[in-house]
Structure 1
């Protein structure tokens, strides 16, 4: 058995590489250092030897003490875990550059007002809320129906100013991502969410003057703002349902409000439940 084969056998991919939990790693390195110092009292060279072995174990397995990921999630304060968390937050899905439709950044303009100006939303007749206008709902549904992956790549390429062939789409952990020449430029809650956002972008363009002047973060916010009005899934065509779930990353877990496709389970929208509860009335 070669050394590389042995490493592959003991490696735990779910706790290493991109999935590595940094709080777990830090805690285990501290424990390893303490144990090595104690062993050094028995025989001085053991300090270096044992520490090297412990670090190798942490590198290949993600932790030294069994159960560390569970313990850190349970006992570390959430504010500490957030410092190390690589998972995009439910309300601010990360992008690696200021491009794309998946930023989810909080806009510096009134999303609902702009959508009403575009004729996409209007006051509901029977409740104190906003609803889709009939003509936009029909237009949006038609646009979603004809938005396949080729249309998505073409639209993203136009937004990013690259060739369509450079854009690829793929599942990336909990998210559905777009990349240009292998570099991730945006990620969405799901393939269905991306389809809806691209269809929204196309449908809104002729309805708003100066569309080219809207920043990518603003266009993302408009698309995300309309996603909560979906009543059928862009992927499987089934019903859409609201619910509460527990989301998890490498380092922590949190409660979220989720909109999912009932038939295929695609996640259309997700927001930290604490933000909903803390929002002003």
Structure 2
């Protein structure tokens, strides 16, 4: 392996390169080089410019915390549409909760874990929580018939577990979703669910049948269960934990602060967003 291979960041370059972040970094590097040149340090200016541009080419960006400020700066300068990221930076007319939401509502995480431990869905040892082999097999078997389902068929499957909600299939320029509309008090709450999330959560509810959990408990459990996925529920690709978003090469969706997510490395689908630590 060459020295250059050691500094490459393929997750931020090639097809996964974020061009607004690249442009912002190039501008900063060129400005720094120009300032050093004007200050009377032409050799240093040349070295800074060459090393900076090489770093951007190999690593995606060289300015620390670029994913935190570059998307907002690019959007403020109107660069989102220029580089084909209009919807990404501004979220356009797309779904308001495209990469969030679940079949169930919010619940106390500790209470959910206790419930799943008592139901032998999860187990715990000195290394932490893990999913039992028996339940993982049931969950995987429940996903299989859903993987070939059409979007409309997935919406029907959601209706079967959320009979209290209005469910519809939604197709737009950004993708395919199952929208679950339910009332939270006096407020209508829409959850926009991607195919992998629908497959994982409907299969999760079905796999939890017979575990002694009420339907309400099953629905609130399926979102945290997604954090234990070992393969994409839709394409079957491997998954990994990452902190990147669409900016600088990660799974779709951009936020002011990069999310810590579980995502498929083959189809780039976000499968779970880990809670932000206070």
TM-score by length of 1: 0.51
Q: For residues 224 and 261 of structure 1, what CA distance do their matches in structure 2 show? A: 16
Aligned match of 2:141: 142
Unaligned runs of 5+ in 1: 1-66, 73-85, 95-99
Note closer, same or farther for the CA distance 1:131–1:160 as it changes in structure 2 (3 Å cut).
Answer: closer
- Does structure 1 retain, via aligned residues, the 8 Å contact 2:196–2:233? yes
Q: For residues 220 and 175 of structure 1, what CA distance do their matches in structure 2 show? A: 22
Aligned match of 1:70: 76
Aligned match of 1:110: 111
Aligned match of 2:256: 253
- Does structure 1 retain, via aligned residues, the 8 Å contact 2:159–2:165? yes
> Residues 231-269 of structure 1, C-alpha deviation per residue, up to 9 Å, x if partnerless?
111111111111111467999622101111111111101
Pick aligned residue for 1:195 from 196, 199, 205: 199
Note closer, same or farther for the CA distance 1:155–1:255 as it changes in structure 2 (3 Å cut).
Answer: same
Q: What RMSD, in angstroms, separates the aligned Cα atoms of the two structures?
A: 4.0
Where 1:226 maps in the other structure, the secondary structure is helix
What's the CA shift for 1:187?
Answer: 1.7
Question: Is 1:186 aligned to residue 188 of structure 2?
Answer: no
> Mapping of 1:241-280 within 5 angstroms?
241-246=240-245, 253-271=256-274, 275-276=276-277, 278=278
TM-score by length of 2: 0.52
- Does structure 2 retain, via aligned residues, the 8 Å contact 1:228–1:269? yes
What's the CA shift for 1:107?
Answer: 3.6
> Mapping of 1:213-252 within 5 angstroms?
214=216, 218-246=217-245
Q: For residues 211 and 143 of structure 2, what CA distance do their matches in structure 1 show? A: 17
Q: For residues 174 and 231 of structure 2, what CA distance do their matches in structure 1 show? A: 24
Q: For residues 106 and 230 of structure 1, what CA distance do their matches in structure 2 show? A: 20
> Residues 96-130 of structure 1, C-alpha deviation per residue, up to 9 Å, x if partnerless?
xxxx7064x24486111111122211124xx4211
Unaligned runs of 5+ in 2: 1-72, 79-94, 182-187
Q: For residues 120 and 201 of structure 1, what CA distance do their matches in structure 2 show? A: 12
Aligned match of 1:82: none
Q: For residues 219 and 251 of structure 1, what CA distance do their matches in structure 2 show? A: 30
Q: For residues 109 and 227 of structure 1, what CA distance do their matches in structure 2 show? A: 16
Q: For residues 163 and 207 of structure 1, what CA distance do their matches in structure 2 show? A: 24
